[in-house]
Structure 1
Amino acid sequence: MNFGNVLTAMVTPFNQQGAIGFQEVTNLVEYLLDHGTEGLVVAGTTGESPTLSTKEKVALFTQVVKVVNKRVPVIAGTGSNNTAGSIALTKQAEDCGVDAIMLVTPYYNKPSQNGMHQHFMEIANKTRLPVMLYNIPGRSGINMNADTIIKLSQIENIVSVKEASGDLDQATTIIEKTSSDFSVYCGDDGLTLPMLSIGASGVVSVASHIIGTELNQMVTKFKQGHVKEAAAIHRRFLPVMNGLFTYPSPTPVKYALSQKGLECGGVRLPLIPLAEDEQLEIHEIVKDL
């Protein structure tokens, strides 16, 4: 299932009291849709999901669905390392009107490949929504291998994977051995163009908060066969893509958004705001945009 070329893993704006800022959410959604975003992933890791309560997640899903008003797909991050908890949140997300869910590989527990297969199958069987898997061993501590993803792709409503292992061989195997209607999305901004070259559908991006229009142009140019132009965009903006992960995400991108006049507030502990020298570093990366 194709959700669009550029999906944004959206930050969660907080107000001065540290609560979700719903007006800021509205402003951010409108900005992203005006700047190349074709789908929104809400309450993922970039949205600081570990620090959001279930009540906050449901309120966030509801607000984003309302603001988007069917213009682009809204994908709710409902995955966790608790299968029953993920099912419960998925059912609440369904009631909010989201278009799909994203399920991250269970972190910390380190289940076996068969355990992961059963985890995702159990959740998928309890929802009518399309499911995007999310493989990110750097954060979850375990890699969901290609064979497991290929096997899961045979479940009717498991339709996509955000592949952030950084392993192009693994991504190639997944693309080659899944059906043509199963989409593979790049989960690392800097690998978007290489992933497109092996058949990925697009990117679930953090950098699209800042360079969404440019990323969309790059993907579109590549798909139109203008490979050199796409490569030039990649080379030009790779420092931005990498620079936004210089410090724990989403701290840099929230600061960069503030520099563009989009206030999204701070971050919640255990993340901390950028120090002054760190702010200067991020400012230098994005000042010309």
Structure 2
Amino acid sequence: MRAPRILPLLRPRSLCWRPTGTESGSAPRRFSAVAGGAAPSQRLDLRGIYPPLTTPFTSRGEVDCHRLEENMRLYAEVPFRGFVVQGSTGEAPYLTQQERLEVVRRLRQAVSKEKLLLAGTGCESTRATIEMTAQMADKGADAALVVTPCYYRGSMTSAALIHHYTEVAEASPIPVILYSVPANTGLELPNEVVLTLAQHPNIVGLKDSGGNITRLGLLVHRTHHEDFQVLAGSAGFLLASYIVGAAGGICALANVLGTPLCQLESLCHTGSWNEARELQRRLIEPNIAVTYKFGIPGLKQAMEWFGYYGGLCRAPLLPLSKTQVTELHQDFSSNGWL
């Protein structure tokens, strides 16, 4: 069952899919060239809602580009600013380098040029991240979303993180977005690291999934003059993030309830706070269900109920049990979405 449409939808765009190939806030940043890279001179406006796309698989566990195409045709009806590919929700750690690059190539061919394509390029080493970022740019990514290296988290001091991101930004031919997701990495980018890196001309923003609104508001305030944009990393605190000045959100729930999340953005921009508050309340339990409670298997299951293809995850992630499916359904139905 598809969710009711509560916003006028954008006119669907024609997608050119080739199976054998691939408002308010601070002003968008204008880039100048940086040493070692080829930073673009045009503006990059991050404001808006982005779904971090899931990766569909065939019954044999291969990346299913046909199913990805079907999902993208449906997402073309939703007024997203763009799409995030090969992030945490895309099961990027479970994909080979070749698979990750091919998915980005295919999506760039399928998605309108008006839509931003933000590609996860973070690896554990600085060298590997630089290489992956260059390759993702070559496949058509508009910006690189770089998660914190965390395997040796005890050694990831502020100095080490600043050095890592600076080296990546200097070498990157596309803008870099910092990505702090402590629930997955066990490491939160320290405030002083973000504030230092925000001064770099090729580091344009931060996706913060930690959920600390005080921190998020502080970073928005302290980077206001740096032309640096902060994006909420979850639908559960999207309203609060807009209140303190966030530019948008990269939200797993947008894979399922994209139109309501875009409506929430619109309500915030027009100052319709009562309606925004009510909508946010209805999104909290479904968001918890597809993130903290059941994770990607829960998200993919929910996608099936709303007309998208979710399918199985790649091992070692397991599908939900019958009991979990029932509980997940209740989290959506009790809030009026099913």
| TM-score normalised over the length of structure 1 | 0.96
Q: Is 1:221 matched with 2:264?
A: no
1:94 and 2:127 matched: no
Computing the radius of gyration from Cα coordinates, the structure with the larger value is: 2
Query: CA separation in 1, counterparts of 2:188 and 2:47?
Result: 25
Counterpart secondary structure, 2:240:
helix
Aligned to 1:21: 64
How much identity, in percent, do the aligned residues show? 27
1:9 aligns with 2:52: yes
User: In the superposition, relative to structure 1, how do residues 167 and 108 fare at CA in structure 2: closer, same or farther (>3 Å)?
Assistant: same
Check whether the contact 2:299–2:310 (CA below 8 A) recurs between aligned residues: no
Write the mapping of 1:115-130 to structure 2, written as runs, cut at 5 A. Answer: 115-130=160-175
Give the deviation of 1:246 after TM superposition.
4.9
Q: 1:39 aligns with which of 82, 86, 91?
A: 82
Alpha-carbon distance in 1 for matches of 2:283, 2:293: 18
- Aligned to 1:75, what secondary structure does the other structure show? strand
Q: Distance in 1 between matches of 2:112 and 2:254?
A: 21
Q: Is the 8 A contact 1:36 1:215 kept in 2?
A: no
> SS at the partner of 1:9?
coil
What is the number of residues matched between the two proteins? 289
What does 1:181-220 correspond to in 2, within 5 Å? 181-220=227-266
**Retained in 1: the 8 A contact 2:235–2:261?**
no
RMSD: 1.4
Alignment of 1:108-257 (within 5 A): 108-110=151-153, 111-180=156-225, 181-257=227-303
1:286 Cα deviation from its structure 2 partner:
3.0
Unaligned runs of 5+ in 2: 1-27, 29-44
Conserved? CA contact 2:150–2:186, under 8 Å: yes
Of 303, 309, 315, the residue aligned with 1:269 is 315
Taking the aligned partners of 1:23 and 1:3, their CA distance within structure 2 comes to 28
Report SS of the residue matched to 1:101: strand
Q: CA deviation at 1:86?
A: 0.9
The answer to whether the aligner puts 1:283 opposite 2:326 as a matched pair is no
Q: Which amino acid aligns with 1:11?
A: T
Shift of 1:147: 1.3
AA of the residue aligned to 1:227: W
Alpha-carbon deviations, 1:196-240, whole Å to 9, x = none? 111011110101111111111111111111111111111122221
Looking at structure 2, the residues matched to 262 and 197 of structure 1 have their Cα atoms a distance apart, in angstroms, of 31
Tell me what 2:97 maps to: 54
Q: Is the 8 A contact 2:285 2:332 kept in 1?
A: no
Secondary structure of the corresponding residue to residue 76 of structure 2: helix
Native 8 Å contact 1:248 1:271 kept in 2: no
